[in-house]
Structure 1
Amino acid sequence: IVPIVMAGVLGIYGLIVAVILTQAITTPTAEGKTQYSVFNGYCHLAAGLCCGISCLAAGGTIGIIGEVGVVSFGMKASGGKRAWSTGEGTDGRDGGDVAGGNDRVNAEDANKLYVGLLIMLIFSEALALYGLIVALILSQKSYTCEE
């Protein structure tokens, strides 16, 4: 569930950037003149792309790490056997022991695997956080059109 929550945060990053960029857009005057320059438009485009692409990269990384983590926990729980793909151990003829005797999963090994998984998830979330920071910096750049 941790990768799902961390991936949900990526959408919030995009929402933050969208709200900030939307507030920076000004409407034209009654004469049709605008204060919103092409420079501002390109800065806002770059900010949106920076946040979006970094969140895309972070989301892909979080997905891969989450998948590998789930498969690793499954392999550890089944004692290294791929019971879900080979059908071994599903009919109860192997004694009913999921981990296979001496290869029983202990809490310390599971905690080590979980801590490693969590650290990788945190560093992959940092990719999106860096993109958010750069997008916020880009959104603060502005050029006002003069008459």
Structure 2
Amino acid sequence: MCVPLGCSYLFCRAFVTGLAGEGTLRTEDRAQAADRPLLPNSLCAIMAQILSIYGLVASVIIVNNTKEKMHTAFIHLGAGLACGLCGLAAGFAIGIVGDAGVRASTQQPRLYIAMVLILILAEVFGLYGIVVAILMITRSTMDVTRCRY
């Protein structure tokens, strides 16, 4: 539930306001922006799709282990929360950075590389979440976690 919220915030904040705001530039900036391709400014929307794939991977792995014990279900809940909350944080971070970055790189094209680096660092939050979720899911099916009760 948290990953789609983060992805939708990212998409709304960065893609819609950033790319739609590109049309409200001054006329001399609009002439420079017309020469550049539109694909680099849609990088934030591509990253939103990557974040949603992280949540999909975690949920598919969890759904395959439905007939498990109760303590395994709690570990799966924790894995889903880890992936979801990390995806939410990454979505908010990429949305804010992408919104400001698209506007700034439209004004000053040199800032595009810095924006991409910051976006990659923000994407790592979602990657950490899926790694922790996969580790928790694989440990839950092994004999490492035993419930005494």
Task: Please give the TM-score of this superposition, normalised by the length of structure 2.
Answer: 0.64
Q: Which residue does the alignment assign to 1:21?
A: 62
Query: What one-letter code is carried by the residue in structure 1 that aligns with 2:43?
Result: V
What does residue range 83-94 of structure 1 map to in structure 2 within 5 Å? none
Contact 1:37/1:144 (CA < 8 Å) preserved in 2?
no
2:117 equivalent to 1:123: no
Partner in structure 2 of residue 55 of structure 1: 87
Equivalent residues in 2 for 1:78-117 (5 A)?
Answer: 110=109, 112-117=110-115
Q: In 1, distance between residues paired with 2:132 and 2:65?
A: 16
Tell me which stretches of 4 or more aligned residues in structure 1 moved more than 2 Å: 73-76, 141-145
Aligned residue for 1:9?
50
> Aligned pair count?
103
The answer as to whether partners of 1:40 and 1:141 remain within 8 angstroms in 2 is: no
Structure with the higher helix share, 1 or 2: 2
Residue 13 of structure 1: CA displacement?
A: 0.4
Return the index of the structure with the highest Cα Rg: 1
Indicate the structure whose relative CO is greater, using CA pairs within 8 Å and at least 6 residues apart: 1
For 1:127 and 1:144, locate their aligned partners in 2 and report how far apart those are by CA, in whole Å. Answer: 30
Q: Give the gaps of 5 or more residues in structure 1.
A: 27-35, 77-109
Q: Percent identity?
A: 37
Measured on the aligned residues, the alpha-carbon RMSD in Å equals: 1.8
Q: Secondary structure at the match of 1:25?
A: coil
